[in-house]
Structure 1
Amino acid sequence: MSSNITPSESTRSHREVLTALSGLLLGMFVSMLASTVVSSSLPVIIHDLGGDQAAYTWVVTATLLTTAISTPIWGKLSDLFNRKVLFQLAITIFVLATAVAGLSQDPGMMIAARAVQGLGAGGLAALSQVIMADIISPRERGKYMGLFGAVMAVSTVGGPLLGGVITDTINWRWNFYISLPFAIIALIVVQKALHLPKHPKKQTRIDYFGIVLLSTAVALLLIWVTNAGTTTVDGQGHDLAWGDLGNNDWWSLLTVLMVGGGLLAAIIFVVVELKSKEPLIPLTLFRDRTFTLSVVASISTGIAMFGSSVFLSQYMQLSRGATPTQAGLMTIPMIGGLLLSSIIVGALITRFGKWKGYLIVGGVFLIAGSYTLSTIHYDTNFALVSVYMFLLGAGVGMTMQNLVLVVQNTTAPSQIGVASSGVTFFRSLGGTIGVSVMGAALAAKVTDLMGSDSILAKMQAAIMSLGEEGAAVAKQLQSGSLPEVSKLPEAVRVIVEDVYAQGISHSFLIAVPFAVISLIAIIFLPNVPLTRMTTSERRQATEADFATVSTSEGMSVLTATGGVPVVGEPADEARDGNEK
């Protein structure tokens, strides 16, 4: 069997693997840098564009939504087309959309550009996992997963810092242009360094109807979650409640239409996928216990990862009065936890071949980090906040990549693309829904607190004490756009910081039950040993086994009949011919 495996695949040295991975690592670095460089600047960006909390949430959610929807599409395409070309296409889409985002003149344009950006991000996320499976076995992949964790950590730490400095010293628009030269280098490196084994050609069939249905279902539910319970203003300045078409903000006619439409689209999607010859997400994968439980666990990881990156930056700026640069520095403990856990655990998995214990510890850290962050206030000791962030980061680092690894270890080689992208899809979907729900909870909590009698009395007294300056401050707070807290007078700033801290801690509480579910799913994962064969080697081994079986069957026919069957004809027909 081993003779059917090419030497380049079975004897690839550590240096050759690193050379092949360099393009992937650089592509992921471009993706992460372009995404994180704006995270510390988003409050300033939304303030300058005149957006409110809903716009802030959708600037993030738009990218996560299209990333989630496009991930299984890229995964399916990777089983049908050249994976290297697809990876280069994903980089190109991502950076062009990022550049357009830098030209945004209003929140709508920014959200649209970020949505297109997510299409490229989905490709980079899905294809990097699939390509890794092509060239590295699950047993050896742990230490290389650590490299991806390191790149993620460096870009996640460096991005907000770089973005904060650019925003404070130049202009936030340059945050979107900074990734362009890195993208050009990534395309060149991928072209020269990434060499993948050839895959057998398959008949191409894309499930377009499934794509439309999935997009419709997810988009309707997210738009409902983001807007339900909020109010907007019409052209005459009158408040329009989301529930004006019904008796209640959350239980209104619009709610029935959007939730009902989303659920109907989801049900039709399931029916279509069951009947499709080339389904976008093969629902037969859910028969595999490992895949199903990994998907459940990945949803919580996505909520923790995306939710923390979005709302921790807001907490630093809106609740602690930090500048964008300072906010980037203050989130380092979380990234440190992610970096250390992903590298150390990856190396340990490769060395000892054991993985389940580390995932269980990671699940415990996710619960601890989510819960402790739900207790923070504007004046909580920052050392404690750092410990809470470190716990959450360590939990994400131990679970995120390794859940994909576990699925790839047990999935048939022909379905590696859709299985890997399936886990990534549900992680992104979990993050998208999590950010939307947490953002809606934050907006509702802040609105309630700002309208309470106690806060109104404190705010009125603080504004009155400012004299003439108070009128301008009051106008800014009443505009509905996100305040630039670091520039508010101290008397008002303390009140606003307290309100936003309560809102953000309330939103983190939502992640706790999902983290508990994630731990339960991890505990019940089958503890299957990691194989030392790459996907390409497993595919060739399967083909070799099939050829051996076919040859054995053919020899049985020859022995029984004494004749030579015609190639392509059934054995019975050959036997009938000899009998004649």
Structure 2
Amino acid sequence: MNHRQVLQALSGLLLGMFVSILAGTVVSTSLPLIISELKGDQSAYTWVVTATLLATTVSTPLWGKFADLFNRKLLIQLALGLFVLGSAAAGFAQNTDWLIVFRVFQGLGGGGLAALSQIIMADIISPRERGRYAGLFGGVMAVGTVGGPLLGGLITDAFGWRWNFFVALPVAIVAIIMLQATLHLPKRAKRKVTIDYAGAVLIAGGVSLFLIWMSMAGKQFEWMSLETLIMVTGAIVLLVAAVIVELKATEPIIPLSMFRNRTFTLAVIASISVGVSMFGTAVFLAQYMQLARGATPTQSGLLTIPMMAGLLIASAVFGAIISKRGRWKAIMVTGGALSVVGTALLSTLHYDTPFVLVAIYMFVLGAGLGMLMQNLVLVVQNSIEVRNLGVATSAVTFFRSLGGTVGVSVLGSILGTVVADGIKDGIADLAPEQQAVAAQALGSGTIPQVNQLPEAIRVVVESAYGTGVGQVFFYSVPLAIITLIAVAFLPNARLGTMNAVQRHGASENTEAESEFAVAEDALIDASTASVALPPVGTSHPDGRRSDDESTDGGRSR
């Protein structure tokens, strides 16, 4: 495919990605207001985010396996439809439970979009050339991520938060039509398909139970409790059973043999901690801007632009450099280092940190993530066997989502504890009459609308959230260091120049040639055995000499 054909094939895919990003980010800046109006608390806020991440995490390896078995074009259209329908249904939520349920449907579709977009991109673009198009994907990501919160803030301020969930519907319909018209993938050879239902159920059950425990422990029950014992034991049993099933399955959901590939294993480790940075930053910076700085949803979206600008610029610039030079290791190590520095800087946040410094800190972290996220998938696709391309790609996305889900749950629990203690200590320093007002305004435990609080109480809440978000990033620093170490030890392999379709054809030709050679050798051996001649000088049963001896004077043929 030439450049124009690639762009044409990518158009529907890029629009589909934009819809999924927009439908997620358009809600982010208004979530504090949504939870407040639906009478939810910090636990409900965390669950609204975690539900989507949980469903995305559990479904991603399933979508990846389906991509190796079924029509990838149809799968991404189904994922897109499921995602947007879940988003639209969430717009009618009357309480946080309703909202959480339909956020699960968003997550199921989002898992497919996250995995399939990367897999299809590998089908049509070689690893070496992929950096050339990284700017397009980075641009779509940046526009959706930056424009989503801005659009969400404007919609919330003008029409109400429910319209945030409906805005992506018309764009999604266009995306599905464009995917049908522009994305043309070669037909896959028909073969007998065996779906590992047992592995799918055990993996989904074990991961879900573990993540639900992470979300509820410390809030609905104590960390050291009977509920913890039951849920953790159940998750371990299910995951151990999943490993046993995957080792024996004909078509495992996650082939464990991939972990023998050093690049894949290290990329998985790095992806877990990158997920914490990526998802945690989006969730907790929105809370910081609105609850620690008193920003409106629209202002919150504007204030997070430096983060997305860093991600976009780094992704586009360094993606082009990788395509031009074919070298990626130094860029990824630098990205890991910037992630450590950016996370450490954000750990110093307080409610009165100058916005210029906050912007610089966000830009540094965004640049680091921009140099890492796409390239982690790239190096795995470059090194893995083409027959496992779908499951390998989805596995990296799976562990990134897993890290994000666990990270948001644990860090959300830390934030809730720090905020509660900060508010309690701050109220204790107020005058008695102000304490009574504070107890009435904050006693329910729901997330307050800061701008409606009296001045003295507002300062207490802003200070508590400012300190709490800083603590969240402080506990994220070790994970960023793990990312840097894992990236530093990645094998510095050259990027291939064939896309996945070409690699698949080449591997089929190689296998065919190998089978032909084996068959040819066997045929020669069989022929040799069948025409074995008697030794020179021997007689046939009828007394005649052998043909060799009689026709060429006894010389051996």
Q: Aligning the two structures, in what range does the TM-score lie when normalised by the shorter sequence?
A: over 0.9
Aligned residues, how many?
533
The Cα offsets for residues 103-137 of structure 1, whole Å up to 9 and x where unpaired, read as 00000000000011100000001001110111110
Deviations 1:255-311 (A, max 9, x none): 111222222222222112112111111111101000000000011111100000000
Decide which of 78, 83, 86 is 2:72's aligned counterpart: 83
Give distance in 2, aligned partners of 1:457 and 1:549: 79
Specify the alignment match of 1:419 in structure 2: 392
- SS of structure 1 residue aligned to 2:27: coil
Aligned-residue offset at 1:576: 6.0
Gap regions ≥5 residues in structure 1: 1-11, 232-241, 243-248, 465-469, 564-574
Q: Out of 468, 477, 494, which is 1:512 matched to?
A: 477
Indicate the percent of aligned positions where both proteins have the same amino acid: 56
Is the counterpart of residue 356 in structure 1 residue 329 in structure 2? yes
Corresponding residue of 2:447? 482
Alignment of 1:152-551 (within 5 A): 152-230=141-219, 242=221, 249-452=222-425, 455-461=426-432, 463=434, 471=437, 474-551=439-516
Please show how residues 57-206 of structure 1 align to structure 2 within 5 Å. 57-206=46-195
In structure 2, how many angstroms separate the alpha carbons of the residues matched to 1:576 and 1:92? 64
- How far did residue 68 of structure 1 move? 0.8
Q: Secondary structure of the equivalent of 2:161? A: coil
Taking a change above 3 Å as real, the CA distance of residues 449 and 197 of structure 1, as seen in their structure-2 partners, is: same
Structure-2 separation of matches of 1:279 and 1:161: 42
Distance 1:485 1:197 in 2: 55
Q: Which amino acid aligns with 1:458?
A: D
Shift of 1:462: 7.2
User: Contact conserved, 2:335 with 2:370, CA < 8 A, in 1?
Assistant: yes
Q: Deviations over 1:212-232 (max 9, x none)?
A: 22222222222222222236x
CA shift, 1:383, in A, is: 0.8
Deviations 1:495-553 (A, max 9, x none): 11001111111111221111111111111101110000011111111111222223333
TM-score, normalising length: structure 1: 0.89
User: 1:75 and 1:382, CA in 2 relative to 1: closer, same or farther beyond 3 A?
Assistant: same
Name the SS for the 1:37 alignment partner. Answer: helix
Tell me, in whole angstroms, the C-alpha distance in 1 between the residues paired with 2:444 and 2:521. 83
Moved more, 144-153 or 420-429: 144-153
Task: Say what the alpha-carbon RMSD is for the aligned residues.
Answer: 1.7
CA contact 2:58–2:208 (8 Å) conserved in 1: no
C-alpha contact (below 8 Å) 2:423/2:460 kept by paired residues: no
SS at match of 2:419: helix
1:6 counterpart residue number? none
- Alignment match, 1:56: 45
Measured against aligned partners, the alpha-carbon deviations of 1:290-334 in whole angstroms (never above 9, x if no partner) come to 000000001111110000000000000000000000000000000
SS at match of 2:40: coil
Q: Distance in 2 between matches of 1:449 and 1:256?
A: 30
- Closer, same or farther: CA 164–577 of 1 in aligned 2, 3 Å: farther
Aligned partner of residue 401 in structure 2, secondary structure: helix
CA distance in 1, matches of 2:510, 2:216: 56
Change (3 A) 1:123 1:578: farther
Secondary structure of the corresponding residue to residue 105 of structure 1 = coil
Give the corresponding residue for 2:550: none
For 2:481, the aligned partner's letter is: V
Q: Do the aligned partners of residues 460 and 203 (structure 1) sit closer, same or farther apart at CA in structure 2, a change above 3 Å counting? A: farther
- After superposition, the C-alpha distances for 1:357-377 in whole angstroms (9 at most, x for unaligned) are 111011011111111111100
CA 561–457 in structure 1, closer or farther in 2 if over 3 Å, else same? closer
Question: Matches of 2:430 and 2:3 in 1, distance apart?
Answer: 62
Following the alignment from structure 2 to structure 1, what is the Cα–Cα distance between the partners of residues 532 and 231? 68
Supply the AA of the counterpart residue of 2:227. Answer: L
Name the CA distance, whole Å, in 2 between partners of 1:253 and 1:555: 66
In the alignment, the residues of structure 2 paired with residue 255 and residue 169 of structure 1 have an alpha-carbon distance, to the nearest angstrom, of 44
Is the 2:56–2:110 Cα contact (8 Å) retained in structure 1?
yes
Q: Deviations over 1:198-248 (max 9, x none)?
A: 2222322222222222222222222222222236xxxxxxxxxx2xxxxxx
Distance 1:209 1:459, change over 3 A: farther
Equivalent-residue separation in structure 1 for 2:434 and 2:280 (angstroms)? 33
Please state if 1:27 is matched with 2:16.
yes
Aligned equivalents of 1:577, 1:523: Cα separation in 2: 61
Asked whether the equivalents of residues 213 and 232 of structure 2 are also in contact (C-alpha less than 8 Å), the reply is yes
> Per-residue CA shift, 1:444-490, capped at 9, x if unaligned?
111222233xx2223455726xxxxx74x642311111001122222
**1:462 and 1:491 in contact (8 A); partners too:** no
How far, CA to CA, are the matches of 1:217 and 1:448 in structure 2? 33
Aligned residue type for 1:511: S
- Counterpart CA distance in 2 for 1:211 and 1:552 is 39
Partner of 1:568: none
Deviates more, 1:217-226 or 1:138-147: 217-226
Q: How far apart in 2 are the matches of 1:375 and 1:125?
A: 32
Q: Distance in 2 between matches of 1:354 and 1:205?
A: 39
Indicate conservation of the 8 Å contact 1:313/1:327, yes or no. yes
Equivalents in 2 of 1:228, 1:128: separation in Å? Answer: 34
Measure the CA separation in 2 of the matches of 1:442 and 1:207.
39
Q: Within 2, Cα distance between the matches of 1:304 and 1:380?
A: 20
Aligned counterparts of 2:59 and 2:223: Cα–Cα separation in 1: 29
Q: Please say if residues 561 and 578 of structure 1, whose CA atoms lie closer than 8 Å, have aligned partners that are also in contact.
A: no
Change (3 A) 1:261 1:532: same
Q: Name the amino acid aligned to 1:548.
A: E
2:194 alignment partner AA = R
Name the structure 2 match of 1:572. none
Partner amino acid for 1:311? F
Give 5+ residue unaligned stretches, structure 2.
Answer: 534-557
Distance in 2 between the 1:358 and 1:278 partners?
36
* CA 1:551–1:511: 2 relative to 1, 3 Å: same
Contact residue 53 and residue 405 of structure 2 kept, 8 A: yes
Structure 1: distance between partners of 2:143 and 2:228:
42
